[in-house]
Amino acid sequence: MKRIVSLVLAFILITGAVCAFSACDILNRNQAPAQKLICGVTEYEPMNYRDANGNWTGFDTEFAQLVGAKIGRTVEFQLIEWTNKFIELDSNAIDAIWNGFTATANESDGTPRINLCDMSYSYMTNTQCVVVKAERAAEFSSTDALAGKTLAVEAGSAGEEMALEFVGNGNIIGAPAQINTFMEVKAGASDAAVVDIILARQIAGSGDYSDLVIADVSLGAEVYAVGFRKGDPLRDSVNKAMSDLNDEGKLLELAKKYGIDANFDLDKNFGK
């Protein structure tokens, strides 16, 4: 009789444990953390930069956060070396290149970026520009003036691609981020910097760089998009969110907040 009672008690304990484990498993699955959207960025005002408290802000920062809310992902920003952007993407260290990413550029070896990743809709127009010391602005009136000059660029950037056309490898100073090129010009290490005009308008002529100006040199137009791993369905989810946010007027509103509404242009034909 005692043996039967013991077996019954053991059965009850085992059954209870299994039920409890199943309940916990269901609870854990129901409370699983939201999937992340990790965006690879560099310091680039007004797209992605840190505020006085060290928090990421900027047009692309808030843009990504709006999209994350739409698709149910928690957005995080990962500071990357721009030359390693595709390595970071392909290794799954980041989910997207979301940082004023010139989608129409080539890499330094001539490979079109659109061959290396899937692109979202384009959303911003931009041009490369030449930044020089104000006292030397008269020297730079055309691209011909760049011949023989030393140019500072962000390594792996669209600016580097363009600078190489004018001066070749020997006269290029590669910086880890576009913001660093302004110091190269200010210090006299380079004659000029080739950078995104959206950034240059924020930096040249103000603060520590009040002695720098944008030269009157016309360079090619380009567009920004978000880069994703080839075949990643995340691109389509982001495109849908981008379209919805645009229809709601939130993207134009955000562009106005950062003073770049004249450059905002969502093109749903790009990246297909």
What's the pLDDT tens digit per position in 126-158?
999 999 999 999 999 999 999 999 999 999 999
| Percentage, residues of the chain above pLDDT 70 | 88
Per-residue pLDDT, 2: 42
Distance CA 131, CA 215 (A): 6
pLDDT of residue 34: 66
Domains in the chain: ranges and CATH: 36-125+224-267 (3.40.190.10), 126-221 (3.40.190.10)
Positions of the chain with pLDDT under 70: 1-34
Residue 256 identity (one-letter amino acid): K
State residue 13's pLDDT score: 40
Rounded to 10 deg, the angle between the 59-71 and 234-247 helix axes is 110
Cβ neighbours of 60 (radius 10 Å): 27
Residue 272: burial class (beta carbons within 10 Å; 0-12, 13-18, 19+): exposed
pLDDT of residue 176: 92
Q: Between β-strands 122-133 and 212-214, what pairing exists: parallel, antiparallel or unpaired?
A: antiparallel
